[in-house]
Amino acid sequence: MANATLISGGHVYAPEDLGVTDILIKDSRIAALGELAGTEAGTVIDATGKLVFPGVIETHAHMLLPLAEAVTQNDFYTGTVSGAFGGVTTLIDFADQTKGNPALQAVESRLKQAESSIVDYGFHCTFTDITPATLDEMQAVVERGISSFKFYTTYKSDGLYVDDGSMLAAFERARELGALVTVHAENDDIIARATASLKAQGKTAPRYFPLSKPEISEQEAITRMILLAEQAGVQLLVRHVTSKSGIEAVAAAQERGLPVYAETTPTYLLLTREVYGSPAEFIVHPPIRGEKDKEALWQAVLDGTVDVIATDDCAFTRAQKRKAENFWQVPGGLPGIETRLPLMYQEGVVKRGLGMEQLVRILSTNPAAVYSLEQKGALRPGMDADIVVYDPEKRWTVTADALHEQTDWSPFAGMQIKGRVDKTLVRGGIVIDGDRCLAAAGNGQYLHRKPGV
Amino acid sequence: MANATLISGGHVYAPEDLGVTDILIKDSRIAALGELAGTEAGTVIDATGKLVFPGVIETHAHMLLPLAEAVTQNDFYTGTVSGAFGGVTTLIDFADQTKGNPALQAVESRLKQAESSIVDYGFHCTFTDITPATLDEMQAVVERGISSFKFYTTYKSDGLYVDDGSMLAAFERARELGALVTVHAENDDIIARATASLKAQGKTAPRYFPLSKPEISEQEAITRMILLAEQAGVQLLVRHVTSKSGIEAVAAAQERGLPVYAETTPTYLLLTREVYGSPAEFIVHPPIRGEKDKEALWQAVLDGTVDVIATDDCAFTRAQKRKAENFWQVPGGLPGIETRLPLMYQEGVVKRGLGMEQLVRILSTNPAAVYSLEQKGALRPGMDADIVVYDPEKRWTVTADALHEQTDWSPFAGMQIKGRVDKTLVRGGIVIDGDRCLAAAGNGQYLHRKPGV
Amino acid sequence: MANATLISGGHVYAPEDLGVTDILIKDSRIAALGELAGTEAGTVIDATGKLVFPGVIETHAHMLLPLAEAVTQNDFYTGTVSGAFGGVTTLIDFADQTKGNPALQAVESRLKQAESSIVDYGFHCTFTDITPATLDEMQAVVERGISSFKFYTTYKSDGLYVDDGSMLAAFERARELGALVTVHAENDDIIARATASLKAQGKTAPRYFPLSKPEISEQEAITRMILLAEQAGVQLLVRHVTSKSGIEAVAAAQERGLPVYAETTPTYLLLTREVYGSPAEFIVHPPIRGEKDKEALWQAVLDGTVDVIATDDCAFTRAQKRKAENFWQVPGGLPGIETRLPLMYQEGVVKRGLGMEQLVRILSTNPAAVYSLEQKGALRPGMDADIVVYDPEKRWTVTADALHEQTDWSPFAGMQIKGRVDKTLVRGGIVIDGDRCLAAAGNGQYLHRKPGV
Amino acid sequence: MANATLISGGHVYAPEDLGVTDILIKDSRIAALGELAGTEAGTVIDATGKLVFPGVIETHAHMLLPLAEAVTQNDFYTGTVSGAFGGVTTLIDFADQTKGNPALQAVESRLKQAESSIVDYGFHCTFTDITPATLDEMQAVVERGISSFKFYTTYKSDGLYVDDGSMLAAFERARELGALVTVHAENDDIIARATASLKAQGKTAPRYFPLSKPEISEQEAITRMILLAEQAGVQLLVRHVTSKSGIEAVAAAQERGLPVYAETTPTYLLLTREVYGSPAEFIVHPPIRGEKDKEALWQAVLDGTVDVIATDDCAFTRAQKRKAENFWQVPGGLPGIETRLPLMYQEGVVKRGLGMEQLVRILSTNPAAVYSLEQKGALRPGMDADIVVYDPEKRWTVTADALHEQTDWSPFAGMQIKGRVDKTLVRGGIVIDGDRCLAAAGNGQYLHRKPGV
């Protein structure tokens, strides 16, 4: 079996802890797990002393995103190379319907861009304009293989804002289609008033940014989205929860038995608002909060309230971030697709007692389930062989130079980490091997996702 | 003591049940309660067989309100005469700040109109335009004796809508002033979308009105207002709660220990949406709901979740209500200031086991406390002698003719009632005696209310 | 009106705050409240600068209680004199049915003893032996005017213990009779095991006493009694709650809407377990707890979870308490009937912001309601004129000498207090006037209590 | 690989749904899972069309149990043969410490009896006598491989009862040892009183049995055991929960985050109290309840509150059950070890939408985790090859004749079932193949269980 690959002797998390065992890969899928020592295979990966688990599924990242006169510097090739160095084997990015333009056109345009991806990819579709015509388009989008939508409750001046009446209509259509809705939930009015007040006081420098978006703006919008989703009977994922009050709103909904999921990112788990000094690099929406919020989010990761840890990756350069004088002109978003896995291993598993099974669920199994990726998220016979071989002993320090994103800085620079990706396999093919990327542009395949039930 | 009045032999609810006892009134105030049989008094009211309790405090009624090309037909004289026949001894109406016009000017104008009132009166002040200037005006308004505000989350097209950011700013100012905030809570966007959808389907007749304002629009807005009030640390009263989900949102806040109060009206306790046939009379905002909502509201009256039963009195004539062809053009609001007490006695005390003490609290003691009327709401020595002498045995049937409002119909016509006001006293003076009104226009005094703590 | 008494110019709490006003008493009852300045009266009490409120109702005290080879030193005369100096106007003590002896015989015997009381009095009946015969006796006891029962879940070796099956049967009978059940709730088995363990270790001195009765023994027994009361559908009062976990169990029941009441005593509100040094004086059951328990009880007083503050008064002398060598031989119980009101005024009203209305409710209005004393607990026309005139400015220090109990020590000795009883009236007659007792033995009347609904 | 076994083409639940795949067994353990079609193996089992999942772990059954002058008819050979026909691959039975007899002696005696078992086996140890000596024995028992204990809160007259003080002491010792405690929770006093009352009324026939053990006796005892376990900090499993109020008590504990597990049995999920006619067969402790209880238990199975479905198997014959005239003399317990799996498949999976993964967890994965069986409960490389091959299409009707228990009746006779065990493997060896048992007595091995953390 020349075309077979054997990963032998690693400690496997499927996500279940299988102990030290072997994995046989054939025809891009997992063929068998177990004691397979003598099995003939063209490629043998000795994973002794390594951790072996399903590839990370990135469900919130922005390649080539134009924002505030800038554009994120990663295209689908460089972004997925960077991601793969961080264990990413699947990327779900966004296709954005804009006012007056057909959603499917945006989808096809993004599909074209994504052809250079080295990992498998799919899209969420953002709708900003809810009309009878766009509600019909939602069905066409689902039929094109996109079974999750995104809506914004804010950015009115940027044309992204969806009002509550339209939101409810869109949620109801999504429920009819069996699709998932996801939201960026911040109260636009509260932010607008706070921003106007800061302007009136001349507090326009980047360091005033967090004052423009108080926790209540997130708590209120999350609470409202949950009520509308409950009314519509649709499944809801709340993007990038940042605050104690916000995650408590999600937890309360989960306790009532509602299908409400929470996403957060390493940004909110590792940083606090002290980063908002004079340089503008750290501006991201919603803003980074305080210590009590950070701790509440970790608690929610440990107790299962947080379902998904994504990155909201936006690879702006330092120059792009620093160009504007006023905080509202700074393009929002931070790079992070490559650092997420080692940061979560270091801060979660090593430091806070997060179980490896739970880490694998949050990075891979849960997003596969929530976003209907049937072939991904677990190491079981027949599943796609998307696999990370992880060296738990390797020590390194985060620096922008050590990473592969198309930017010159990292919010996590200086952090010391134990553990690093040794190999990343996509459908059985080794795409990352130590410091080298072995995959060519276009290695990834489009994931046509069917809606759930 | 020629200027004294003795009410003898009635069953007194102070609101506490004092049993059969006497009340002595001197200099417009209650001088003593007890066994006062031989006390010399210029006026003696034999209340044998009657119930005696504090006058009803009307905290939600609209005299001379211009709305949708109509105006409510009661002025402060006719409206308070009508109210006094229904046991009302205090009226708190509204002064409405409008865009670009000073709030105090609106207050002074309303004070002028109110001079003809036969019962004591005060005002809430509605703000629609939240600017640094109007936030300053809030203090002037409080200093003028108005310690409660009203805000709308809807009626954007009528210029009443206050956005969430402005609402939060106004709530914070109210908290600084020690004032109470009250809200008309419906989600404007949801209503706008539902209305547009009905228009698009040609469903413009009045009978389609309730479809334009689904329960979720109330539930969501109440939930949001509670969150903002909690954030601001201000006391909140939710006006005219109509739905099961709405009152549950209030109850949940009360259970968390928040100072959140609920008002409802007889309209929502006695009618269901079946009233919405082709004539437009019953259009009121929010709309009348279903049986389950009605029962949930009664439960909330019985268990104390509802703090205040007001009327939202709007005396439009049948012709005024029927003039428009489209439901959104019909002036909203129903008459009710005169019928509230007998209806609540009949349906609450006689039929549903509501205790007299609880009825008195909801109609008088609670509104006095919530709205800082220190001299009102209880029969205790030193308090204003605002008193109802009620005949619990008198049987009658509601008809528009039998009432004194300046309109030609009643939403409650045909209802059979046991119990009717026999006498109403304002500051010791008899204003209603059986079928006669003994008070002249101008009998009422302005109530300068101080903010609470 | 020579036989009338007028209390003029005091600040009256009825329990409602009536401000400064007058009270007229005729024929032992309150005739009127209000502005009664010129009213003719044989006796006029000038209460200017004083607080005037309903007399304290003592619902947990033990006169002439034989216990562990001792007997409490107060008889019904000396005990009620002492109580009246502390504002007590009603005493409900206990009549104890014992194995093989008719309950009514115990009742009649106690009635005889109580004839010397100077305040009105009644009884609870303790049942220790639940048989078909004693279940029948419960009805006879109720017909004799005793509408509340007491049961013990512990003291098995003293013959007081009632097992759960019998408890449930007794609760069900009480519910049929409309009576209230009250319990001393501690887990006998846990205490027995802990005691045996202490004995085995030679830890028999009084200072080891609190180790014999851990908080769990109270928490568990309270939880169990609530379950049984809920099953039987009977109203339950939990005696002398001492612990945080215990009061939380009661609060949880109240939140579920169950008619469960909590009693505590000044002992548990003012002392902590540090009092358990080598002398045995402070032994009381359940034991005094820690700081966190004390604070939880105060919180429960302030938020209304605690309904009644009684004393569990047991006037043992220092010699009686110190006689035994082993903690289980010490007669349990502390004196306190005279100090409760000033201690609660000082520590509650002066120090912790407890409202006077709430204090009056806990000491008088609530016990009157819970124990069906229709003529007591509020200052309203027609009610018994049981009244305390309290001097809020008088400063003094607790010493055994300054008190009137038949014992030579006080657990509260040394505490400095602002506020003291100036006069106590029982049915209009002054029984305490400053330092003098004006009432003769036998001034009190038996209170025949009818069961509630 | 002549000693290898390949199970090919079955639908595998590991418990995770692995779809159709193969399992390779070597040296009694699972060697590999996956696409293993061509693998050389001495034995090949074609599982096409079959379900393949981990063997059932029976954690509550009584072989050779003497009770009320009878003894259960299954010994460890016949009982485990019967069990294996029902998919059982592991049995944990009981060794009972009795007053004055060393626990280890009971353990060794039971180990001797169990040598004939055809499936792997272990024991819980029941303690009835909690003394310093037996608390020490608990450690010796754990060292002998028994890491779970059982205690009774009832059966005082049979010498099984453990009082609360002793229970708490035993729980604390178990926590120190890292062991699990399990309880038979019924309130002995309530049962004793109810039984005495029935006797007094002459209601002694078996049909009166359920009246002797009302739901409150279970609800109260479960609540109490949870409180004591929380106090001790020990893990608790509540045996055979039967009632809505009982399972709600467990659910409340789980919601508070306590490590409290619930067991129930098919008896309580399939039967209601209508079975209690004149014959005595159905007497089991606690008694079978009503429809609402049955439905509440199913809900708890579906939502995960129930962790384990055991059987409490007691193979008494009809004659043994019918011998006594009085209900309290009937030996309690029902046969069921063989019918559990097909009944749960039929009633849970086929009829009520219970997922196969959840069924496997409740019957195998959860008991393995709760009872520390590290090599059991999941199909993963390296685990013991304890496997059921299940034919989901086979239709049959329960009759005593069709079963292999040493009794002449079944409580479930007449039930029609779709699905039956096709093969049962214990450590890779086929013990059941269709209608035949292929294993000899003594095939089972003793499971030395280590305590958890």
Q: What is the DSSP string of B88-106?
A: EEEEEEEEE--TTS-HHHH
User: Measured between beta carbons, which residues in chain A are less than 8 angstroms from residue B227?
Assistant: 216, 219-220, 223
The burial class, CB within 10 Å (0-12 / 13-18 / 19+), for B199 is middle
pLDDT tens figures, C25-58: 999 999 999 999 888 899 999 999 999 999 999 9
Mutate to test the interface with A, among D11, D22, D364, D380 (most CBs of A within 10 A): D380
At A178, give phi and psi (nearest 5°): 75, 15
For chain D, how many residues are written?
453
Would the CB atoms of B216 and A194 count as touching at under 8 Å?
no
Q: How far is C327 from chain D (nearest CA, A)?
A: 19
pLDDT tens figures, B298-339: 999 999 999 999 999 999 999 999 999 899 999 999 999 999
Would the CB atoms of B33 and C32 count as touching at under 8 Å?
yes
Would the CB atoms of B16 and C378 count as touching at under 8 Å?
yes
**CB C405, CB C398: distance < 8 Å:** no
Would the CB atoms of A164 and B190 count as touching at under 8 Å?
yes
At D430, give phi and psi (nearest 5°): -75, 120
Q: What is the pLDDT of residue C176?
A: 98
Whether the complex's predicted ipTM is more than 0.85 is answered with: yes
Alpha carbon separation from B267 to B151, B333, B405 (Å, rounded): 21, 10, 16
d(CA C114, CA C123): 10
d(CA B282, CA B327): 11
Would the CB atoms of A35 and D381 count as touching at under 8 Å?
yes
User: Measured between beta carbons, which residues in chain B are less than 8 angstroms from residue C453?
Assistant: none
- Helices C188-200 & D164-177 angle (0-180, nearest 10): 70
Nearest to D227 among C167, C189, C223 (CB): C223
Would the CB atoms of C190 and D164 count as touching at under 8 Å?
yes
Would the CB atoms of C32 and B35 count as touching at under 8 Å?
yes
Q: What is the pLDDT of residue B22?
A: 97
**CB B323, CB B281: distance < 8 Å:** no
d(CA D53, CA D424): 10
**CB D415, CB D398: distance < 8 Å:** yes
Q: How confident is the model at residue B2 (pLDDT cuts 50, 70, 90)?
A: low
Which element (helix H / strand E) includes B122? strand B120-126
Residue C402 has pLDDT above 60, yes or no: yes
Would the CB atoms of B192 and A165 count as touching at under 8 Å?
yes
Would the CB atoms of A191 and B165 count as touching at under 8 Å?
yes
- Helices A132-143 & A164-177 angle (0-180, nearest 10): 30
User: Measured between beta carbons, which residues in chain D are less than 8 angstroms from residue C220?
Assistant: 164, 224, 227-228
The burial class, CB within 10 Å (0-12 / 13-18 / 19+), for B435 is exposed
User: What is the DSSP code (8-state) at residue B350?
Assistant: I
The residues, ordered by sequence, that sit 6+ positions from A171 with a Cβ below 8 Å of its Cβ are A181, A228, A229, A231, A232, A234, A236
**CB C228, CB C151: distance < 8 Å:** no
Both tokens of residue C380? 């309203």
Kindly identify which residue of chain C lies nearest to residue B303, measuring between CA atoms. Answer: C257
d(CA B229, CA A150): 29
**CB D24, CB D36: distance < 8 Å:** yes
Both tokens of residue D208? 């009166």
Q: What is the pLDDT of residue C453?
A: 54
Provide the mean pLDDT of chain A. 96
User: Measured between beta carbons, which residues in chain C are less than 8 angstroms from residue B30?
Assistant: 34
Q: How many angstroms from the chain centroid is the CA of residue B54?
A: 16
User: Measured between beta carbons, which residues in chain A are less than 8 angstroms from residue D380?
Assistant: 16, 18-19, 33
Both tokens of residue A327? 């905080």
Q: What is the mean pLDDT of residues A310-331?
A: 94
Q: What letters, b where the CB count within 10 A reaches 16 and e where it falls short, cover C125-137?
A: bbbbbbeeebbeb
pLDDT tens figures, C187-197: 999 999 999 99
Q: How far is D191 from chain C (nearest CA, A)?
A: 7
Q: What is the pLDDT of residue B31?
A: 96
User: Measured between beta carbons, which residues in chain C are less than 8 angstroms from residue B21?
Assistant: 381-382
**CB C423, CB C389: distance < 8 Å:** yes
Q: What is the mean pLDDT of residues A334-360?
A: 98
Nearest to D19 among A21, A35, A382 (CB): A382
Q: What is the DSSP string of B156-200?
A: GGGT-B--HHHHHHHHHHHHHHT-EEEEE---HHHHHHHHHHHHH
Q: How far is A431 from chain D (nearest CA, A)?
A: 24
Q: What letters, b where the CB count within 10 A reaches 16 and e where it falls short, cover C157-189?
A: eeebbbbbbbbbbbbbbbbbbebbbbbbbbbbb
User: Measured between beta carbons, which residues in chain A are less than 8 angstroms from residue B219?
Assistant: 227
Task: Provide the Cα torsion D38, D40, D43, D45; round to 10°.
Answer: -10
- Look at the block and give the residue holding tokens 């079974």: A147
Q: How far is C52 from chain B (nearest CA, A)?
A: 15
10-residue averages of pLDDT along chain D (453 residues):
87 97 97 92 97 98 91 96 98 94 95 98 97 96 98 94 98 98 98 97 95 98 98 98 98 95 98 88 97 98 97 96 92 97 98 98 98 97 98 97 94 97 98 97 97 75
Q: Positive or negative CA dihedral for A378, A380, A383, A386?
A: positive
Q: What is the pLDDT of residue A132?
A: 94
Q: How far is C193 from chain B (nearest CA, A)?
A: 40
**CB C335, CB C314: distance < 8 Å:** yes
Q: What is the pLDDT of residue B3?
A: 81
d(CA B186, CA B194): 13
Q: What is the DSSP string of A354-397?
A: --HHHHHIIIIIHHHHHTT-TTSSS--TTSB--EEEEEEEEEEE
Nearest to D35 among A26, A35, A378 (CB): A26
Which residues of B have a CB under 8 Å from any CB of A? Answer: 163-169, 187, 189-194, 216, 219-220, 223-224, 227-228, 231
Q: What is the mean pLDDT of residues C240-261?
A: 97
- Helices D164-177 & D132-143 angle (0-180, nearest 10): 30
Task: Count CB pairs under 8 A between chains A and D.
Answer: 62
pLDDT tens figures, C378-400: 999 999 999 999 999 999 999 99
Q: Do C and B have ≥3 inter-chain CB pairs under 8 A?
A: yes
Q: What is the pLDDT of residue C42?
A: 94
Neighbours of A354 (CB within 10 A): 18
Nearest to B31 among C30, C35, C378 (CB): C35
d(CA B19, CA B408): 40
N-term to C-term CA, chain D:
39
At C340, give phi and psi (nearest 5°): -55, -50
Nearest to B169 among A167, A187, A193 (CB): A193
**pTM across the whole model:** 0.94
Would the CB atoms of C228 and D219 count as touching at under 8 Å?
no
The burial class, CB within 10 Å (0-12 / 13-18 / 19+), for C278 is exposed
The residues, ordered by sequence, that sit 6+ positions from C185 with a Cβ below 8 Å of its Cβ are C153, C218, C221, C222, C224, C225, C238, C239, C246
Nearest to B164 among A163, A165, A190 (CB): A190
Q: Positive or negative CA dihedral for A424, A430, A436, A437?
A: negative
At A335, give phi and psi (nearest 5°): -75, 160
Would the CB atoms of A228 and B219 count as touching at under 8 Å?
no
Residue B25 has pLDDT above 70, yes or no: yes
Nearest to A34 among D18, D19, D24 (CB): D24
Q: What is the pLDDT of residue D453?
A: 54
Would the CB atoms of D216 and C193 count as touching at under 8 Å?
no
Provide the mean pLDDT of chain C. 96
Residue B252 has pLDDT above 80, yes or no: yes
d(CA B62, CA B74): 8
**CB C30, CB C375: distance < 8 Å:** no
Q: How far is D221 from chain A (nearest CA, A)?
A: 27
Name the pairing type of β-strands D88-96 and D70-71. unpaired
- Look at the block and give the residue holding tokens 């929406």: A285
Both tokens of residue D74? 């299954």
Would the CB atoms of C220 and D216 count as touching at under 8 Å?
no
d(CA D432, CA D445): 17
Q: Reduced to 3 DSSP states, what percent helix, strand and coil does chain A have, rounded to the nearest 5?
A: 35, 25, 40
Nearest to C35 among B14, B26, B35 (CB): B26
Would the CB atoms of D168 and C190 count as touching at under 8 Å?
yes
Nearest to A164 among B187, B228, B231 (CB): B187
Which residues of C have a CB under 8 Å from any CB of D? Answer: 163-169, 187, 189-194, 216, 219-220, 223-224, 227-228, 231
Nearest to B18 among C26, C34, C380 (CB): C380
Q: How confident is the model at residue A65 (pLDDT cuts 50, 70, 90)?
A: very high
Which element (helix H / strand E) includes A27? none
Kindly identify which residue of chain A lies nearest to residue D15, measuring between CA atoms. Answer: A16
d(CA D348, CA D355): 8
Would the CB atoms of A382 and D30 count as touching at under 8 Å?
no
Helix (H, G, I), strand (E, B) or coil at D376: coil
